[in-house]
Amino acid sequence: MASSKHVTFPNKFLPYLLLAPQLAITAVFFYWPASQAIQQSVLREDPFGLSTQFVGLANFKHVLNDANYLNSLQVTVIFSIATALIAMAFALLLAVMADKVIRGKGVYRTLLIWPYAVAPAIAGMLWLFLFNPSMGTLAYLLRSTGYNWDPLLNSDQAMVLVVAAASWKQISYNFLFFVAGLQSIPKSLIEAAAIDGAGETKRFWTIIFPLLAPTTFFLLVVNTVYAFFDTFGIIHAVTRGGPGKATETLVYKVYNDGFVNLILGDSAAQSVILMVIVIAMTAVQFRYVERKVHYG
Amino acid sequence: MASLELTDVRKVYGSAVEAVKGVNISINDGALCVLVGPSGCGKSTLLRMIAGLESITDGTVKIDSTVVNNLGPAERDIAMVFQNYALYPHMKVYDNMAYGLRNRGMPKDEIDKRVRDAAQILELTQLLERRPKELSGGQRQRVAMGRAIVRSPKVFLFDEPLSNLDAKLRGQMRVEIKNLQRQLGVTSVYVTHDQLEAMTLADILVVMNGGVVEQIGAPLDIYEKPASTFVASFIGAPPMNLVPVTADGSGLILKDGTHIGAQGLAVPTSGAVIGFRPEDLEVSAGTDTHIGGLELDLKVLGVEPVGAESYVYGIIGGERVVVRVAGRSTSQTEDHLRVIIPKEKLHLFNEAGKRI
């Protein structure tokens, strides 16, 4: 009976009651703000906030024709791909290495997981302190090698810095999942491959990596969403979207336009577009990428 | 095809745990050697050392008179069938079998021919395009066998390959493995903890216990002349009955003090263990004395009819024993039976458990 899909509740209302907390949280923290954003996105306020006017899709039209918006779209794509790839590649490398350690495995793992406990803004500050051109310890070293390090002026260097900070923060999380993924691969498979004449590199690419596919796919979704949304704190702390608009991601622009420049209509339109992008992206990942994934 | 020779092979884990304590086995070309023993006896460790999955602390492993101690698993030209089959779950049956050949850079049409031949032998042709998770336990087992035979290696290694199958399938596969091994004539080492599997498959049977070899020989020789009480109780089902005795001038004394005639048995006064197979006891109805046999009194504790035969459980001289009788048994609990062990069926072991 344990496998039966039908559960009988003693009371008709009990299942709804049990679902209520989750539904309430989703409603209050997602549907309500989301509907507010949608509503705001079709309104325009006068500079003093005294009157609001329905403008249809004018805000969207304005946003999509804005060169700055298209720039931030491009910045986001570069930033997200770089962050997700770097964070996942490093995490996989570390996980494979940590898996080989025989003595003190637990210590290595614990140390590698720690950075995840650091808040994004703090992580950003750490990197800022290390790489700030005027006072950063590592920036000083870089400059002493003759490299002209100045992320406050050089937009490529600013991007490198935020990508580094954002991926550093996410490596621990990915590491944790890759370690678990590696542990779930039966040792006998690796041994069978060794007997079958596959060297270490070949074993990794033909056996281990394909078997990690479910983990990798899950992390791809999580990391993309992370790079899109959760990196606000890092960008805010490190570059504030600068220099110019070189590191202004979509999320950062929403904040900038709405809360700094107080263009609420445009900001709301942007967040609605962002919502659509993320929904579409997740759907695409599940529809097309997941097909290539074998679960056990 | 090759011979396999183990000389003084030892395995020590860390600095103190000795899993295999100096094993010598020599297997002729084409023979099937079965390593049998209880769990933790070192049989799997020994197999993994032959495979190259475990380093050899001491001694040598020779395949075809080449010492392979320092060769990797791939260079030893062996194939192994794992207990959990270790099929690659993301590859089709075809690719599972072809993987080892591709890694060795074999031409494509040769690979195709070999895989299809193996599939033919194992009746897997219909399943080549399936993935392992779409197969039943028995089919997976065949694929694992297929992966081993396409390589036509020098030695096959089997690590309890049937223990994940149900009893009926296990019986079938046992016969198939035996036939296949005969047909291909590949030297094989087979590890199992199942004495029935060991008896039926082996050309050479190696009984292991606590990291040492207790006895090596043909299965029936071992059955008929077990070298120790351990072997006697491990091989055969139900196991051999073992009754400790001491001796004085006039005869033998059982644990409960019963005196019996020694019938010319040379039992050391310090004590010994007499052993007899459940099927070797004769239940005597009359009062006739069997010439040259031990005559004992058995108190019946219970009877287990299993169809063609019945097992009568009882006590002789304070020791639990079992007697196998053909057909049904009319004995009742608390009955006393007069049983006779013919002298030639009697096994005698010394205090340390070694055969006298």
Is residue A97 a part of any domain in this protein? yes
Q: Among candidates A61, A81, A79, which has minimal Cα distance to A162?
A: A79
ipTM metric: 0.82
Q: What is the CATH number of the domain that holds A213?
A: 1.10.3720.10
Chain A contacts of B88, Cβ < 8 Å? 189, 192-193, 207
pLDDT tens-place string over residues A251-281: 888 888 888 887 778 888 888 888 888 888 8
Comparing A70-74, A127-131, B248-252, B309-313, which segment has the lowest mean pLDDT? B248-252
Domain count, chain A: 1
Is residue A37 a part of any domain in this protein? no
Domain ranges, ordered by start, for chain B: 4-234, 241-350
For residues A22-27, average pLDDT? 94
Distance from the Cα of B182 to chain A's closest Cα (Å) equals 23
Q: What are phi and psi of A151, to 5 degrees?
A: -65, -15
For residue A94, give both structure tokens: 């570390």
Is residue A68 a part of any domain in this protein? yes
Is residue A15 a part of any domain in this protein? no
Please name the residue that has the structure tokens 């050479």: B204
The CATH number assigned to the domain with range B241-350 reads: 2.40.50.140
pLDDT tens-place string over residues B4-44: 999 899 999 888 888 888 889 999 998 999 999 998 888 99
Q: Is B73 at the interface with chain A, CB within 8 A?
A: yes
Is residue A28 a part of any domain in this protein? no
Cβ-nearest to B74 among A197, A211, A213: A197
Output the average pLDDT for chain B: 87
CATH architecture for residues B4-234: 3-Layer(aba) Sandwich (3.40)
A118 within 8 A of A171, measured Cβ to Cβ: no
Nearest CA in chain A to B150: A196
In order, the DSSP letters of A98-153 are HHH--TTHHHHHHHHHGGGGS-HHHHHHHHHHHH-TTT-HHHHHHHHTT----TTT
Please name the residue that has the structure tokens 């049977």: B205
Domain that holds residue A252: 60-292
Is residue A129 a part of any domain in this protein? yes
Percent of chain A with pLDDT over 70: 96
Cβ-nearest to B78 among A195, A206, A294: A195
Helix axes A105-113, A67-100, angle to 10 degrees: 170
pLDDT tier for residue B271 given thresholds of 50, 70 and 90? confident
Question: CA A39 to CA A131: how far, in whole Å?
Answer: 42
Q: Output the pLDDT for position B257.
A: 78
B178 within 8 A of B200, measured Cβ to Cβ: yes
Q: Among candidates B173, B183, B178, B96, which has minimal Cα distance to B141?
A: B173
B44 within 8 A of A166, measured Cβ to Cβ: no
Distance from the Cα of B99 to chain A's closest Cα (Å) equals 7
DSSP helix/strand/coil, A263:
coil
Is it the case that residue A174 has pLDDT exceeding 50? yes
pTM for this predicted structure: 0.79
pLDDT tens-place string over residues B173-208: 888 889 989 988 999 999 999 988 999 999 999 999
Q: Is A284 at the interface with chain B, CB within 8 A?
A: no
Q: Output the pLDDT for position B207.
A: 94
Distance from the Cα of A219 to chain B's closest Cα (Å) equals 19
Top mean-pLDDT range of A104-113, A284-293, B8-17: B8-17
Question: CA B16 to CA A285: how far, in whole Å?
Answer: 53
